């Protein structure tokens, strides 16, 4: 081979190398850089989504805990006094042994409490001639109701004191305030 043919071959190889680099290697290098950059961004977004998912799960657990705490600690304030439901929940069976007599008296609906944006009150009086356990069960029933009722007064006195061997019959007057929200202050 002659020197000029070698130069042309060398020049041709150089041109082919430049064309190969320009049309194949450089575009693939650019697309690989773009793909690498996109992959890094996607991995960061995935990591952020995983963190958000953990945060959402933690918030959901907190919400369930708060809902159970509200259900345990807070009482319902209905829109009406619903005295019949209260009487039904607090009524005891008059059996002549533990409970001799029981009566309920609903007072006139009291206006709002002294504070602004407060609840209305439905006074209710429970009168019992019964033993202490029955009277105490009425108070416990009031406390365990799912609505807001306040024991405003409690008076207990004995009816019969003769006969130390029998259980004394007590007379109890329990004053209750059933709170309700009739919505007057929202208008």
Same domain, 99 and 182: yes
Sequential DSSP letters for the chain: --HHHHHHHHHHHHHHHHHHIIIIIHHHHHHHHHHHHHHHHHHHHHHHHHHHHHHHHHHHHHHHHHHHHHHHH--B--SS--HHHHHHHH-----SSSEEEEEEEE-PPB---SSTT--EEEEEEEEEEE-HHHHHHHHHHHHHSSB-EEEEEEEEEES----TTSPPPEEEEEEEEEEE---GGG-
On the 0-12 / 13-18 / 19+ scale of CB atoms within 10 A, 117 is exposed
Number of domains in the chain: 2
Q: Is the pLDDT score of 187 beyond 50? A: no
pLDDT at 186: 47
Same domain, 121 and 37: no
Q: What is the pLDDT of residues 133-164, one digit of tens each?
A: 999 999 999 988 888 898 999 999 987 656 54
Q: How far apart are CA 28 and CA 49, in angstroms?
A: 31
Q: Name the one residue in this structure whose structure tokens are 């006139």.
A: 108
Given 34, 50, 74, the domain boundary residue is: 74
Same domain, 46 and 131: no
The more confidently predicted of residues 165 and 56 is 56
Same domain, 167 and 99: yes
CATH number at residue 101: 3.30.70.60
Q: Is the pLDDT score of 130 beyond 60? A: yes
Same domain, 158 and 98: yes
Given 74, 91, 107, the domain boundary residue is: 74
Q: What is the pLDDT of residues 79-97, one digit of tens each?
A: 888 888 999 989 888 888 8
Residue 117 is part of which domain span? 83-186
Same domain, 41 and 7: yes
Same domain, 108 and 157: yes
Q: What is the pLDDT of residues 1-38, one digit of tens each?
A: 688 888 888 888 888 888 888 888 888 888 888 889 99
Given 74, 96, 118, the domain boundary residue is: 74
What sign for the dihedral angle of Cα 10, 12, 13, 18?
Answer: positive
pTM over 0.85: no
Q: What is the pLDDT of residues 171-180, one digit of tens each?
A: 999 999 998 8
The more confidently predicted of residues 187 and 174 is 174
Same domain, 144 and 114: yes
């Amino acid at each position: 081979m002659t020197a000029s043919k070698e130069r042309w071959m060398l020049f041709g190889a150089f041109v082919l190398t430049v064309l190969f680099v320009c049309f194949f290697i450089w575009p693939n290098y650019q697309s690989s850089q773009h793909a690498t950059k996109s992959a890094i961004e996607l991995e960061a977004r995935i990591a952020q989504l995983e963190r958000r998912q953990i945060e959402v799960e933690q918030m959901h657990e907190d919400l369930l805990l708060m809902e159970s705490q509200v259900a345990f600690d807070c009482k319902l304030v209905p829109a009406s006094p619903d005295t019949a439901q209260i009487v039904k929940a607090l009524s005891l069976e008059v059996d002549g042994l533990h409970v001799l007599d029981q009566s309920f008296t609903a007072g006139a609906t009291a206006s709002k409490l002294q504070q602004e944006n407060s609840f209305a009150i439905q006074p209710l009086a429970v009168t019992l001639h019964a033993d202490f356990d029955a009277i105490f069960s009425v108070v416990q029933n009031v406390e365990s109701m799912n609505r807001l009722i306040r024991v405003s007064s409690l008076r207990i006195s004995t009816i019969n004191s003769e006969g130390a061997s029998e259980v004394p019959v007590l007379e109890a007057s329990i004053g209750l305030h059933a709170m309700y929200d009739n919505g007057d202050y929202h208008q």
